[in-house]
Amino acid sequence: MLNIILCGAPGCGKGTQSALLVDKYTLKHLSTGDLLRSEIESKSEVGILADSYISKGNLVPDEMIIEILLKKIDTMAIDAAGFILDGFPRTVGQAEALNKAFEERKNKISFLIDIQVEKKELITRLLKRGETSGRSDDNLDTIKKRLQIYDTKTAPVNDYYKALGKYHAIDGLGEIEEIFGRISIIIDAEMNK
């Protein structure tokens, strides 16, 4: 299986690139943000709790998101050629839990791709998205909080995969197709190893 993590700060284009990758490599897209937003929409107990973190720009607790993700993976795994994980893991604790869970399922993470975009550009993109997304977390104060949390809690996840020799970085500036090309080069090279 080809299990790829797309990592990068909020607004780096993970969701957009995931959609393109799913088509090209017939993978299943798993976005923890989407999973949480659908819980919020259905007003489930988990959704109400998740919203209290998300709307403030905080991460939801590790145990909560790990449980949601693994439940979803176990319902999808049978016919999946592999996964694109978008927005997970976001802490080193989540990365460790993911490693363990995949090992238990006789599976493994293939590699992580870090989509790098400078902060000023991220803020511009997220504010623009906020004009139409209806997301409670796409406003300036929450965006700043999310970027700060990315630096302190999520960026160390990159080091975790570097230490495992499973880290790639690409420049996330440019046209969507151009960025997709950069990601595809990495995936194709890894698949031919």
Q: Rule CB under 6 A: which residues touch ligand AMP?
A: 10, 32-33, 36, 53-54, 58-60, 65, 87-88, 90, 94, 137, 146
* Residue 188: half-sphere exposure toward Cβ, Cα within 13 Å: 7
Decide whether 27 or 65 has the Cβ nearer to ligand AMP.
65
Decide whether 65 or 109 has the Cβ nearer to ligand AMP.
65
Determine the number of helices (DSSP H) and then strands (DSSP E) in the chain: 9, 5
- Kindly state the smallest distance separating residue 189's Cβ from ligand AMP, in Å: 27
Decide whether 90 or 125 has the Cβ nearer to ligand AMP.
90
Decide whether 35 or 170 has the Cβ nearer to ligand AMP.
35
DSSP class of residue 181 equals H
Give me the residue whose beta carbon is nearest to ligand AMP: 33
Find all residues with CB under 8 Å of 6, minimum gap 6, and list them: 14, 17, 18, 21, 84, 85, 86, 112, 113, 115
Beta bridge partners of 28: 83
Tell me, rounded to whole angstroms, the distance of Cα 130 from its chain centroid: 19
Decide whether 63 or 188 has the Cβ nearer to ligand AMP.
63
- Kindly state the smallest distance separating residue 193's Cβ from ligand AMP, in Å: 28
Q: What angle do CA 25, 95, 57 make, to 5 degrees?
A: 95
- Kindly state the smallest distance separating residue 125's Cβ from ligand AMP, in Å: 12
Decide whether 65 or 170 has the Cβ nearer to ligand AMP.
65
- Kindly state the smallest distance separating residue 150's Cβ from ligand AMP, in Å: 9
- Kindly state the smallest distance separating residue 146's Cβ from ligand AMP, in Å: 5
Select from 58, 61, 112 the least CA-distant residue to 84.
112
- Kindly state the smallest distance separating residue 75's Cβ from ligand AMP, in Å: 18
- Dihedral of CA atoms 33, 36, 42, 43 in degrees, nearest 10, equals -130
